[in-house]
Structure 1
């Protein structure tokens, strides 16, 4: 049985998500998860919502693009939506339409906003470790064909590979360490948003393009994304990042 190009890419993605260096950046790992999910699955974009320390509230942490990030922010502000529900309940969400019940009834304030942004359906899988709920990987869908059962199984596998990387370095991490990783990621999110804004303003580009340039610069120099973003937020922008792309 021969393998397709997509199958090879899936295998490489799972390996990349599950095996990270000991000093990996948790936020960059989580963003890689959303980027790969939005590439490998028939979805418009993907985002991650995580649980607070007491497990009673959910907050967005990263997304594959600015559209998804904006919709995750709205759900946090409304305290309503599929991302919030999936993170809190720690149950997968099957593909659910936002144009008719039950989606329109379950999220009466969020559904119209999502439709206005071009999102017609949602789904989610859980981000978890044994005995430790972490949050959810949320999938926002704009058009048919919607993700199949196998697509959602793949999404769960990608999420599980990411959780494995967060829990294992040389040995299974305890719950406090994993929670600390998530908190560091939440803290990093703020400085990365600041850096995206600075670069966007300097170059007159949108924030999605600014983020792509940030990541490319960090990776080409084997620098942590959070460290580069903190440098830029302090006003020290590398000269080559300020050179517009021809």
Structure 2
């Protein structure tokens, strides 16, 4: 989970300037046992807020990788379902582990690039990723606490909540929307990346957790940036599964 410094304008309706980036906090590396008899086990159901690991190294039946949170469930034009999360959670082609089993693969992702001094090359670069599932091992379906009704457009002042594998269920408000990113007062931790942002008034799905943020101003406080879900869906060629 990266951290960004956000300059909060005096007027809440004004746009947010995000040009300075602080150091990047690396996601933890976790060892996972991958059973060899996975085909014989029950199918795993993945829902918004589920824990997922993208494999960076596999030795025998032990996988090391980066832990993230599933944001939403998407559907391709052919009807197959996929998981949506943050692009920096994994690269295209990396295997995906859920509940200790390799169940799929990261099929597409787009994430902001960092310089050697941890400054964002393009501060507003997209941060979204898609992973496909082996239907013999896992399925993606609506469920859990996040049950989106539609894809919404975030506005300053919206009351919102998010689910993360580290922070759990947390709520706050939208500070502003700018450059494809939604700034909120919800604090996030390592592992919450990819998690869903939903508006409480209508259960509209708004965004995917990208990174932690510090808001400058009279009241310095910590919050978060979520990448706009509508932009992620358009770029990935998927639609939101509601319910």
* TM-score (norm: length of structure 2): 0.25
Bigger helix share: 1
TM-score, normalised with respect to structure 1: 0.24
> Structure with the greater relative contact order (CA < 8 A, sep ≥ 6): 1 or 2?
2
